[in-house]
Chains A and B, each alone.
Chain A
Amino acid sequence: MDPLTIIIAAPLAAAGLVAVIPGNYRFLIRVIALLATLLSAAVAIWVFAEFEPGASGLQFETRSVWVKSLGIGYHVGLDGVNVGLVLMGALVAFAAACVSREIAERVKEYYVLLLLMAGGILGAFLSWDMFGFYFFHELALVPTFLMIGIWGRGDDRVYATYQITLYLSFGALLVLVGLIAVYVQCGANTFDMVELHRHVAQTPIPAAAQRWMFPLLMFGFGVLVSLWPFHSWAPTGYAAAPTGVAMLHAGVIKKFGLLGLIRVALPLLPEGAREWIPVMGVLAVGNLLYGGWVAMRQSDLNRLLGYSSVAHMGFAFLGLASLTVLGVTGAVVVMIAHGFLAGLNFALSGYLRRVAGTTQMDRMGGLLDKVPFIGALLVMAMLAGCGVPGFANFVGELLVLFGAWEANKTWVVVAAWAGLVVGAVYTLRAVRTILHGPLRTELATVADPAGAWHRSAYALLVVALLLFGVVPGLLIARIEPDAKAVSGTIATGIEMKAAGEVGSIVRGAVAAAGVGVRQ
């Protein structure tokens, strides 16, 4: 069995195995879940290490036919972009399995769903077939719904669950239509991305078609990544989700949409991209500034983290929108770094909730005394979140800013403001309210339940963040050649336009669509 299939199959097989184990063998279930995710993570680390940066073509590639008549296949492989993502996904999944010990009831169902989610998203990251890409991603939808619904928290749980489910389905459906449109318009009768890239290089998709397909994919994937103003599912959903789900979702699954933009939308629809990139840029800035501002006013830690992740996605979008090697590389680094960071953040917030019994920040205070280890990690996570050097996020954001500068200076300035200043405001506020200040009397008696095993999950994520922050070359050497390819497919010289012109683009597209419909 090839390593990539092991990465996907381990959690899925474990899910099947757990499903047939009687529910009262909790220990066994946990061990199986941990071992499966650990196996995935170990193999992911191995392939990351073995990956040869800059080599042409896919590595560790495996392909087999799935549905022949439609040109659907099982095709997994690694390039510089997804090798890091898979590593991140597998590690976060392992961490999520570790912190899921907090689940006390209906353990079996929980792990089945968690493993399903993990396997699904890893499969999506690895897939080079558009169908499989979508298929694997959608595997996570039902588990998300059930897990937030059953093990979620808060009064808003039901609403949040439906909102996240419907929003994600909406995005996914747009994506589905877009992907099928790509398939149909390419006329290559294949869903295989490698072949599509090859095919498009010779016979590009008609520009007129690209013009309506690109926004479909952009907004579809955008919704999945909480592109402004389609973001409101993220904070609500994450606030209600159980820790493991929030970690996996915010950290890993959310990156699917960005990967989709890199893999499908940008390289296959360069004309459409040229037309629509400015809109994406504007929305990215919306994510950054608006997400940050709203985060400033949150009183619930999870919602704050949710909005901060909305804001961070703005960097990724901005990087992609810049279409420069720097920007795209930066965007991928941001994706990976934010994966670790969001996983860590939500893990910590879950921990604090267990300690303090709430995620309302003003009902915590001075907790650093009680939970020095977790508190220190939270400080680190928060600092990483506002882009302090030493953490991988800094590298990504720096690259994005440098990459996007030539494209549109105003936006970069705004983005820098949002990242450096607004980001610092809300992260420091969180640290100040939760950890600093005198210990609240009602928290005086709480205990710090962390054990060594438990801590390892958190530490793992911090170490990853620090490692890639201090030695960014590990990631960048792998990413850069492929980022070059992505930005190279779209001829240089695109300038992101000012907001007024963006309006005219949108109006033009709407008018064109209207004409098309009337015809």
Chain B
Amino acid sequence: MTVGLNHYLAVSGLLFCIGLAGVLFRRNLLVVYMCIEMMLAAASLALVAFSRFRGDLDGQVLALLVISVAAAEVAVGLALIVAVCRRGLKPTADELAGMKL
């Protein structure tokens, strides 16, 4: 048996869905954020897999940039969550529901 594109993509897809499930079902925003990172990783995996099997390095470049962007996002995002916590709020979905309807 050879490991083909399908297999990588399957992993990527499943991981993406797992991450999405986390986003949908976890209330702690930190965990949610982690799950988003997982989704990004899954997407990167798909990119790399395509890059490999299509014979083009652009995919990997994008994956690289995705990782960096994710890092920058995490920095800002966590700073934001810190700022939230500073105000005595818990970083959970239910706590941050002041504006609605």
**Is A in direct contact with B (CB under 8 Å) within the complex?**
no
B residues engaging A (CB < 8 A)?
Answer: none
